[in-house]
Amino acid sequence: MKIVLGTPINAVPKPWIYFHVPALLINALEVRKNPRAALSYEGELWIDSGGYQILRKNLNIDVRDIQNIYREIDAQLYFALDVPPSPQDSPAVAKKKFEKTYRNWLKMSKKLEVVPVLHIYREMGMFMKYLEKYLDAPALAIGGAVPYVLTTRGVPRGSRQMALSLIAEARRSYRGHLHVFGLGSPSITPILRAIGVDSTDTATWRLKAAYGKVILPGGGERHVTGRDVKFGKAKPKDGELSQLCQYLAKTGFPQLDGFYDRIAKSFEYRALVNAWVVLKSEEEPRSPTFRKLLLFQTKGLSTS
């Protein structure tokens, strides 16, 4: 399964300068004339439409605007402009957003080859109805899973299992390349592999580093700086940092010199470590909750 790094165009650091990164995902709303030059990157480039930001900020941007941006950029995958439903949306509101997302894809597909986006929503019937409309698409992306799987605030109990079950249903029905937005955490990637997902992405490698945290193989994060924090205060337990260092050495991380000092003092170094871990981790989830979800999906596949 391919792990794609989400990144701002002017991001520092640039992990792809130090080691192989399979692909980068950038936001169309940030695109300037030559994003490859700003990124210093000639590899596989994917462009997201920025649908979530457009909706959240109530921006006046439509299909034609996104098409014009896409025409100027040499990329391998372009995602259709989507209108993500919120977990709090009523079925009537969610249906309008599903339909608008579908119509956007139809419009854009007349001019460009774009990947449609199908969103997780609590009503399985609605999800499956629109999945049927995308079965002939060259690739398919599943969006909107993060609130259900990684945050779970404001969503019903059992939402993790519901969202993962919908992804599994999409995999059973759709035989092309299946991408899942935003679930590139080492806690989740083993589950997606078990389902048969082809790719996922994450931007948390930078975000966690900015908050003073490192991501551990198998998932979980530890705060490693001396500054005070208001959330995610978990410090490394005995031996965890040495285990992380050993893991980096075993998997060939190219920047091990000064590990203990640099991980505490340098945002850029933590971001490099986090990027490496999310790209390389194939361990079972550390979290008992996600281990159970992995077991459920594995058993479901073995009995299907």
Contacting residues for 246 by C-beta, under 8 A, at least 6 apart: none
CB 206 within 8 A of CB 224: no
What is the C-alpha to C-alpha distance for residues 67 and 77, in angstroms, rounded to an integer? 13
pTM of the model: 0.94
What is the C-alpha to C-alpha distance for residues 196 and 189, in angstroms, rounded to an integer? 10
Q: Which sequence spans correspond to the domains of the chain?
A: 2-205+286-302, 211-280
What is the C-alpha to C-alpha distance for residues 44 and 39, in angstroms, rounded to an integer? 12
What is the predicted pLDDT for the residue at 196? 97
* Domain 2-205+286-302 in this protein, CATH class: alpha beta
What is the predicted pLDDT for the residue at 123? 94
What is the predicted pLDDT for the residue at 229? 64
Backbone angle region of 28, left / alpha / beta, with phi > 0 → left and psi within -120 to 50 → alpha: alpha
What is the predicted pLDDT for the residue at 233? 67
Q: Tell me which residues of the chain have a pLDDT lower than 50.
A: 302-304
